[in-house]
Chain A
């Protein structure tokens, strides 16, 4: 891998501008593609909702396309479907996101529909009621799926009840059932504002044309008087980031009727994206639970012991501290063995830094996989938005190889120690009754 070769997505090829109403616009032209992808993020995540209204941000985002001042839900859908375009909105904890795609000639239409949904949603009672029913069905499905149920409970235990990081983005059946169209209108008025919106347009369009189209659509949006500012969003994020690591080990075993396999998550409160140890942590995570079929954990739990089909580790890092977890799905009789194997692999990497060969392989994998992640327009858009959200700069992809190359074995070991040396881990299992399984 030549570090001298400049990454094609860089400060010279990406156009960044802030429209007069505060919308940030990133454009990367990809003339080889027949299509365009639009992505975006903004403040309206569940970080702006309360626990009693858990799911409000999510339901509001999903309802944006269900009727606007100028279009019914059917008309809105027809405008998209007639040209094979797609557009959707959803809320995560830290922010709300949007994504769409269309043939290049339909970019103007896509941006127009996106602006209509953001500016002028009407939240018709009947549509909100149907969407709420669909959400309640989806929540019932989460409660039946061992992996999803375990993940939800894990966050509740890890963060506690007082931060949006501790409750599910889609909410609980009891909170969603109470949400009304009026709640959604109020949330829209205070959580949606052009000043917190960042858009990325990637594909067969030149930057000037994309800017003209954006100015004529999202550029005409004026915020409601009470709408959240960037500062207000920042305060909400800092409030959500106040969780401290659990003071003692936690474990919960959930029984779900009719299942044959147990899913577990074992984890710790991890890092923010801005944490200086982030790069060492992604290398540590790759070695521990990603390389090949699940890294060292996969080697041990899957290949050597034959206990699980999937066994791996995941490290999230956001604007707030996110979990670092080890996960597997195993026969209930093997839960303790698999958990012990995961703990053993964590301890082994905390005790002994990775070997030079293992680390070199990891570096080559992390650096070399960049072109694959940026092959599709939507992948480029996602990457640009992440760079903007975390303040990484438009030359981030050029700088990434050097950051990874500079990692030492000890830095990688230390990243794991920083997060996982605490004895106060959080463990959740979900599946058949473990007591009955012996």
Chain B
């Protein structure tokens, strides 16, 4: 997939449209991305964007609950939606002859969702149930406590699904107002990938969305997290099977010039980025796997780098064996970080990372849905072209760049260290009820 393969258009009402022809199967995927997520939620409204996403499957002036599923699956399609820190996305993948169905559904709910009070109430308990399901995961408990500590001002600290207190308190009108403020053509991007010509795709989008009026431009999100000046720690003591460590550092936003060096750094630690987020599977040859898992020091390890509009976190996650001792593991992680400070990686190591990245991405991008996710998610935080130049951007990174990025960002004052430590009894998780970063919340049980 190259930059030249993607066509970019704009409708008069401000709707941006990205299309790409892929003729491998008679299907098309249709996404609408809205520039609203947990990032846009003021205090007391945590979880509003995700709750609005759920309401989009309820009632519009034309549709009743369940209709979207019946319509899309009735032609052999699939549908879903997800909300994360920076955006909310809705999508249908379906046989190409039925593409207008997806456009009709999405243009309708862009403007006409009704937020029936009864539907809002029944969805309140569904979302609280979703949250309680998440709470079964020790990693969720650890990351919500850690992110609350890392982001004391910025909404990234309150997560996506929202605190229980906010979920209990928000009203129908609060949610409807959030919807009206952010849902409109000039705050959205359409991404269409599949067995359809660009001109045909654009004409159909124009027919379905062209008549929708632009909304008042949403207020810019101006909150900035103050620079962290001293290391922070958080411990969660709760019943659980084994200790877990999350060693995190503040890193810049996705559009920052140093981001490619951080991706390379992370690929050395764990593995190349295969999806839109700055992480992938942990390779057996990676530094962290060799140091922790192959040596028997820990059971599993992973690292990733946040890919967001605003500055985010780089994370190193280590799962210890049941009963494993925390101190040697933390010392070893810090030693690996120090190694990045002290030694520039070899040119051969960087060359291998680029080969891995190109191969993993070629395989990961086989499906039209994966391509649309890449384009949309990068457009939300840094411009869609970066989805296509990622491996080239990484190839330009030098060993000195990696070392400089490590020294600049993976340093002690920027560090937030979190431990999950198994405790007997009901215990109590620290934190404010926010969810784990990058656990995008979805309308169906398959997300995350």
Task: Give me the interface of A with B, judged by CB distance under 8 Å.
Answer: 1, 30, 32-35, 73-74, 77-78, 80-86, 101-103, 106, 129-130, 133-134, 136-138, 140-141, 143-147, 256-261, 263, 291-293, 299, 302-310, 312, 329-331, 361, 364-365, 367-372, 374-377, 431
Contacts and interface: CB of A to CB of B under 8 A. Distances in A.
B66 A102 contact: no
B241 interface: yes
A122 B43 CA distance: 58
B169 interface: no
A258 B95 contact: no
B296 A130 contact: yes
Interface string B290-303: 10011010011000
A33 B76 contact: no
A130 B57 CA distance: 47
B285 interface: yes
A351 B93 CA distance: 35
Contact of B76 (A258, A304, A372): A372
A369 B76 contact: yes
B57 A293 contact: yes
Given A133-B299, A368-B95, A372-B27, A257 B122 contact: no
Nearest to B135: A260
B284 A81 contact: yes
Contacts of B73: 291-292, 361, 365, 369
Contacts of B26: 371
Interface in B247-287: 272, 281, 283-285
A365 B284 contact: no
A260 B136 contact: yes
B76 A329 contact: no
A77 B271 CA distance: 13
Interface string B122-157: 111111111011011110000000000000000000
B326 to A, nearest CB: 15
Contact of A34 (B57, B362, B368): B362
Interface stretch (B8-16, B173-181, B349-357): B349-357
A293 B25 contact: no
Contacts of A33: 24, 366
B304 to A, nearest CB: 18
B367 interface: yes
B125 to A, nearest CB: 4
Given A102-B359, A130-B293, A258-B426, A305 B272 contact: no
A84 B272 contact: yes
Contacts of A83: 355-356, 359
A261 B133 contact: yes
Contact of A376 (B238, B322, B358, B367): B367
B352 A329 contact: no
B400 interface: no
22 contacts: A33-B366, A84-B358, A84-B360, A133-B299, A134-B300, A137-B300, A137-B322, A258-B426, A259-B135, A293-B57, A308-B129, A309-B445, A310-B444, A361-B73, A365-B74, A365-B75, A365-B76, A369-B78, A371-B26, A371-B95, A372-B94, A376-B367
Contact of A307 (B27, B66, B129, B424): B129
Contacts of B126: 302, 306-309
B90 to A, nearest CB: 14
Contacts of B95: 368, 371
A257 B300 contact: no
Given A260-B136, A261-B136, 19 more contacts: A30-B24, A32-B24, A34-B362, A73-B284, A77-B284, A77-B285, A81-B285, A82-B355, A84-B363, A137-B300, A143-B241, A261-B135, A263-B133, A292-B70, A308-B129, A365-B75, A368-B74, A368-B75, A368-B77
B409 interface: no
B232 to A, nearest CB: 24
Nearest to A310: B445
Interface in B1-29: 23-27
Contacts of B242: 137, 140-141
A375 B368 contact: yes
